[in-house]
Amino acid sequence: MSYIIRMKRWEKLILESKTPEEYVDRSFRSGLPPAEKARLARQWMEATGYGKEDILFARNRHPHWKKKKQEGSEGRTRRRLDRHDYSRSAPIQWTKELLREFLDLNEKDKSGRYLHRDWELANHFGTTIPSIQYLRRKYLRVRELLGTRARKDKILEYMASSEIVLQNGGPKK
């Protein structure tokens, strides 16, 4: 079978795709050049009413692309952590004042995203990203234990406890 006939067959199959998942799979298996895939994507989206977001969502769940995204993720994570290590190899002592400041900076916006990223807080407090993530986990556990209406002093008292103490229900009096 010649290249042109094979190309036309894949083009027909891709354009007949019913769902973004089917589209992504057929597009991946086709072996068509990127420019041709882009042209077909525009045609398919116009014909089906699906959008670019739908294709990207399906692509991120396709086994091949999931595997591709995971390649090198450990190295990227390691480089990110090294690049944002502001501790100068000295552990930080989390006092009540620092914890209070952390709570003030650890707020979320209306959509539920943190106002300050992990690395920004790490830089501000002169610590590491894992240290900030640890505090955020503790804070979520404290909120779970005390509820959303807890006083700041009570939250600070619980934040001074270790994660293990919090897993067991918090400090005992």
CA distance 70 to 65: 9
Those residues whose C-beta lies under 8 Å from the C-beta of residue 97, and which sit 6 or more positions away, are none
Q: What confidence tens digit (pLDDT) does each residue in 77-131 have?
A: 888 888 888 988 888 899 999 999 999 999 999 988 999 999 999 999 999 999 9
Range of the domain at 51: 3-70
Tell me: do 80 and 154 sit in the same domain: yes
Tell me: do 162 and 82 sit in the same domain: yes
**Could you tell me how far CA 128 lies from the centroid of its own chain?**
18
Q: How far is CA 5 from CA 2, 27, 79, 90, in A?
A: 5, 16, 47, 66
The total of structural domains in the chain comes to 2
**89's torsion region: left (phi>0), alpha (psi -120 to 50) or beta?**
left
- SS3 label, residue 18: coil
Within a domain: residue 142?
A: yes
Those residues whose C-beta lies under 8 Å from the C-beta of residue 43, and which sit 6 or more positions away, are 15
State the average pLDDT over residues 10-18. Answer: 90
Within a domain: residue 92?
A: yes
Given a cut of 90, whether residue 22 has pLDDT beyond it is yes
Mean pLDDT of the chain: 88
**pTM of full prediction above 0.75:** no
Tell me: do 106 and 80 sit in the same domain: yes
Tell me: do 101 and 123 sit in the same domain: yes
Tell me: do 42 and 16 sit in the same domain: yes
Burial label, 142 (beta-carbon count in 10 A; 0-12, 13-18, 19+): buried
Confidence (pLDDT) at 53: 93
Within a domain: residue 23?
A: yes
Tell me: do 80 and 66 sit in the same domain: no
Closest CA to 155 of 172, 168, 138, 167: 138
What tokens appear for 109 in the block? 């916006």
State the average pLDDT over residues 60-89. Answer: 85
Closest CA to 47 of 23, 83, 72, 73: 23
